[in-house]
């Protein structure tokens, strides 16, 4: 039996957000990731003032957005609840392929070149973290599918059933026991199909 090794990601974005909050003097820092459906942004982590309750619709800026005054009223930032609900007067939104990093200040002109540089330096490690996390999820889903396929093969051979009948049997077991199909499949493979 072949096992897929899964490694937990060592990078914790919270540590970097804490450091960025201190270095930038921001009142709040927010990390969003693009959802799997690619239709919205999901808040992954934040530091400082709470972001608000609503989820952001998918608005990934093409370039860095800097607002020195009136950030909470800026049309480009209206989809991010932290700017509106905290009434940040100045803010920055830094996009990257897998997400966006936002920072807000209650005061006008809350950031300068040094603060912006501190936030821009997070772009590469955060991008790397989000992409590795997504790769890990995809790898785990593929491993589960392989186990399910193998378990279906065991059921087909043991009972003389079609692939669909074997799948429906696994699904029924999953529902009856309230156990994910992948776990049932792994148990079946580990026990040699009994």
In the chain, the percentage of residues whose pLDDT exceeds 70 is 87
In three-state secondary structure terms, 10 is: coil
Question: Residues 4-16: pLDDT tens digits?
Answer: 344 444 556 777 8
Which residue in 131, 140, 111, 133 sits closest to 29, CA to CA? 111
Domain 13-121 matches domain 139-190 at the CATH topology level: no
Instruction: Enumerate residues 6+ apart whose C-beta is below 8 A from 43.
Output: 30, 31, 32, 51, 55, 56
What average pLDDT score do residues 177-193 get?
92
Structure confidence at residue 112 (pLDDT): 82
For domain 139-190, the CATH architecture is Orthogonal Bundle (1.10)
pTM of the model: 0.68
Q: Which CATH number fits domain 13-121: 3.30.450.40, 3.40.50.170, 3.40.50.800, 3.40.50.300?
A: 3.30.450.40
Question: Residues 14-71: pLDDT tens digits?
Answer: 778 888 888 889 999 999 888 777 677 888 889 999 887 655 565 667 789 999 999 9
In three-state secondary structure terms, 155 is: helix
Output the six-digit token pair for 162: 């079609």
In the chain, where are the structural domains located?
13-121, 139-190
Structure confidence at residue 19 (pLDDT): 83
Residue 2 pLDDT greater than 80, yes or no: no
Residue 1 pLDDT greater than 60, yes or no: no
Measured between alpha carbons, how far is residue 68 from residues 23, 75, 93 in Å? Answer: 18, 14, 12
């Amino acid at each position: 039996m072949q096992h897929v090794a899964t490694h937990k990601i060592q990078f914790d974005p919270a540590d970097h957000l804490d450091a960025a909050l201190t270095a930038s003097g921001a009142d709040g820092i927010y990390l969003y990731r693009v959802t799997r459906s690619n239709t919205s942004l999901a808040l992954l982590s934040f530091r400082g003032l709470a972001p608000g309750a609503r989820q952001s619709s998918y608005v990934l800026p093409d370039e860095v957005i800097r607002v020195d005054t009136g950030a909470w009223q800026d049309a480009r930032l209206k989809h991010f609840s932290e700017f509106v609900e905290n009434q940040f007067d100045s803010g920055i939104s830094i996009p990257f392929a897998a997400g966006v990093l936002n920072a807000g200040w209650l005061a006008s002109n809350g950031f300068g070149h040094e603060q912006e540089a501190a936030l821009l330096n997070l772009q590469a490690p955060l991008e790397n973290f989000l992409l590795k996390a997504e790769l890990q999820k995809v790898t785990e889903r593929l491993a589960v599918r392989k186990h399910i396929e193998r378990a279906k093969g065991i059921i087909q051979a043991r009972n003389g059933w079609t692939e669909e009948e074997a799948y429906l049997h696994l699904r029924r077991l999953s529902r009856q026991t309230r156990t994910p199909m992948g776990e049932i499949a792994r148990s079946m493979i580990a026990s040699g199909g009994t």
